[in-house]
Structure 1
Amino acid sequence: MQLKQHRKMMLAITISYTLLILYFLFFAFGRLDRAGHTTEYTFMFVPDDFFRVPSLSDLLHPTVMDAVGIGNIAAFIPFGILIPLLYRTRFVRFMALFILSILVLETTQALTFLGSFDMNDVIQNASGAAIGFGAYKLGFRTNNDWRNIAAAGIASVFLMLGVWGVFGMASQVFTKEMGPFVAINDWNDSSGSPSAGTKLYRFKIGGQDVEPQYNVYSAEGKSKETYTYTLGSKKELYLFLNYGIPDQKDGHGSIRVTVDGHEFLSVTAEAGRHEADMSFIFLPQANELAITIEGNVTLWDVGFKEMVYTWN
């Protein structure tokens, strides 16, 4: 009789906690209001930043996303304890069914516009359940319920810290960051010849001296000049360029940047403005780059920073 009452209590706790989690997954944080203004499904099969968890330094000034990163793991630890208490199951079977359930919930979130399908959430939720299962195996070894609960709680903390450390190392290995600046004149133009128009010289814009460090581009007395480069199908680049009309030149000019036939930038500069501008453009992929200069606009220090893994 006592065993049946114990099982009923565990079942009631499990159902109540499941309903609480479902509430946060589908209705909390203003999801219903946002769903009415969403028209596109969001599926993120590859996380933007691998295993989002805050570092120890981040916790000194925690953000909402830091709380989400920890909560996505910690909130699912109880399932790894409660489910084995209710049903005898092996770790592999438990994790397979749990991951399948999370995939269904994530897909439902995306299809109902009440959230998004985020593979990073699946990884973190499953990690929480795995921590809970490990805590159950380590903690529930006696006939004393309170002692078992305390042991499982302590085990959960230590396992959570271990997973946190592993995720932190994985994030360092698999997260991308900007690589070093590479000047455009380090490439040949589309004909295979060394790039032209890169002779350095000083000039003034708005009375301020400008000293280019890498290259200078202009129409060289023509009405229009186009510089074309083959980059070799590089991916995830940031193109940086500075532009303006030098003080000693009148009139106006424009710049147009196209990549593989698609226009990414088109700006007009006026001589009267007399101040330098800096732009950067994200290019998801780039094979052929063309920069067209018209009028008296001068470009300088044009180059790329490529997104690379830290181990590169």
Structure 2
Amino acid sequence: MSQQRKIISTITIFYTILILYFLFFAFGRVGGAAERYTFIFLPDNFFKLPSISDLLHPTLMDFVGFGNIAAFIPFGILIPLLYRITFIRFITLFILSILVMETIQALTFLGSFDVNDAIINSLGAAVGYGGYKLGFRTKNIWGNIAAAGISCMVLLIGVWGLCGIVDKASTKEEGPFVAINELKDSSGNSSTGEKTNSFKISGQNVTPRYNMYGIEGKNIETYMYTYKEKFIFYLYYGIPDQTDYFGNIRVSVDGREVMTGSGEDQHRYPELFPAMCEIPVEAGSQLTITIEGNEKIWDVGYRKMKYFWN
């Protein structure tokens, strides 16, 4: 074995040991071992790499996310330097190896089997292989290393940017606010609400922009709403000043209560009012709002989850 091959083999062995340490023992894995097997087979967020703005104020998870791709780039250079191997064979063997490591992590309770991590790790190895092919073209070893390093950086930036575009295109975001100007009351009739007069809550002036609902002349009223698509439901609520704190509000989705508020809460914590309610609702679910006493709700509406290109 040539001296150069011995050096590359030694570097590969030590780097592999380092990666295995981070896979199985770093980040408090041993002391905080899980108590159940965790397998994530469906890819969901593997395109979600930290953005440049994230890395300006990085968190630990940002470093982990970026490290998941960058840490495996050297394998794409070291393995082809030791063995003549095609890209297809290299990436196939690498993916199989990563899947074995992920399985061992899950079975030993030192982590989870996460196909998203396996895909990101493989992207890093592919970037390294591309850097090797572009960089190692001459007999000048230092020139080849420099060219491979620059190539890896360029390819990594390209993959990073492409993943950001795909993530943006495949992630739903909240659309514009749409006011709900008709709710069905307990009798099944459509109600357009009350006149949107201004009032004060906890000394703050409140002027509803879209709608307002209350129960003038009643003790209790129920309003219902159903929408065929998934949406985020919004409303503001509170009891106007110069009235007693008798009243409450309850919001349920398909009979399951998801939010409640009362005049007693407002009396005890006036700084929290006027309050806002924000609830994700699945498509076709029935939303039920129950109002009692002097409670008011206003600017009732929703935002649809949509892709940016819709």
Q: Scaled by the length of structure 2, what TM-score is found?
A: 0.86
Cα pair distance change 1:41/1:267, threshold 3 Å: farther
| Separation of aligned partners in 2, 1:21 and 1:150 | 23
2:209 corresponds in structure 1 to 213
Distance in 1, Cα, partners of 2:302 & 2:112 = 32
Q: Which residue of 1 aligns with 2:33?
A: 35
Equivalent in the alignment of 2:8: 10
Between the aligned partners of 2:212 and 2:55, the Cα distance in structure 1 is: 45
* Equivalences for residues 263-282 of structure 1 within 5 A: 263-270=257-264, 272=267, 275-282=273-280
Shift of 1:162: 1.7
- Structure 1 residues 24 and 189, CA gap change in structure 2 (3 angstroms): farther
* Structure 1 match to 2:23: 25
The alignment partner of 1:280 has SS state of strand
Retained in 2: the 8 A contact 1:185–1:198? no
CA shift for structure 1 position 225: 0.9
Give yes or no for contact 2:227–2:283 (8 Å, CA) kept in 1: no
For residues 106 and 62 of structure 1, do their structure 2 counterparts lie closer, same or farther at Cα, with a shift above 3 Å needed? Answer: same
Distance change in 2, residues 1:284/1:14 (3 Å): farther
1:35/1:113 contact within 8 Å kept = yes
Give deviations 1:143-186, integer Å, cap 9, x for gaps: 33333222212211221122222223223322332211122326
- The number of aligned residues is 306
Which of the residues 48, 53, 74 maps onto 2:50?
Answer: 53
* Match for residue 236 of structure 2 among 206, 225, 242: 242
Which amino acid counterpart does residue 156 of structure 1 have in structure 2? C
AA aligned opposite 1:66: D
Counterpart-to-counterpart distance in 2, 1:288 and 1:206: 32
2:294 pairs, out of 290, 293, 296, with 296
Q: Distance in 2 between matches of 1:190 and 1:272?
A: 28
Q: Deviations over 1:61-107 (max 9, x none)?
A: 33333333322211111111112222222212221222232233334
1:269–1:187 CA distance, 2 compared to 1 (3 A): closer
Alignment of 1:140-289 (within 5 A): 140-185=136-181, 194-232=190-228, 234-235=229-230, 237-270=231-264, 272=267, 275-283=273-281, 287-289=285-287
CA contact (8 A) 1:44 1:116 kept: no
Tell me, yes or no, if the aligned pair for 2:249 and 2:261 is still in contact at 8 Å.
yes
Aligned to 2:133: 137
For the 8 Å contact 1:259–1:286, the answer to whether it is kept is no
Aligned letter for 2:203?
A: G
State the secondary structure of the residue aligned to 1:181. strand
The alpha-carbon distance between structure 1 residues 288 and 48, as it changes in their structure 2 partners (threshold 3 A), is: farther
Structure 1 residue runs of 5 or longer lacking an equivalent are: none
Structure 2 contact 251–260 (Cα < 8 Å) conserved: yes
In structure 1, distance between residues paired with 2:301 and 2:102: 40
Identity among equivalent positions (%) equals 58
CA RMSD of aligned residues (A): 2.8
Q: Distance in 1 between matches of 2:63 and 2:80?
A: 27
Any stretches of 5+ residues in structure 2 without a counterpart? none
Change (3 A) 1:224 1:46: farther
**For the residues of structure 1 that align with 2:185 and 2:221, how far apart are their CA atoms?**
13
In 2, Cα distance between equivalents of 1:217 and 1:205 = 15
Question: Would the aligned equivalents of 1:189 and 1:230 in 2 still touch at CA under 8 Å?
Answer: no
Q: Secondary structure of 2:49's partner? A: coil
**How far has the Cα of 1:211 moved from its partner?**
0.8
Q: 1:169 to 1:219 in 2, by over 3 A?
A: same
The structural deviation recorded for 1:213 is 0.9
> Residues of 2 paired with 1:179 and 1:35: CA distance?
41
Shift of 1:22: 1.3
CA separation of 1:112/1:195 partners in 2, compared to 1, >3 Å: closer, same or farther? farther
> Is the 1:53–1:70 contact (alpha carbons within 8 Å) kept by the matching residues of 2?
yes
Larger deviation: 27-36 or 289-298? 27-36
Residue 74 (structure 2) pairs with residue 78 (structure 1): yes
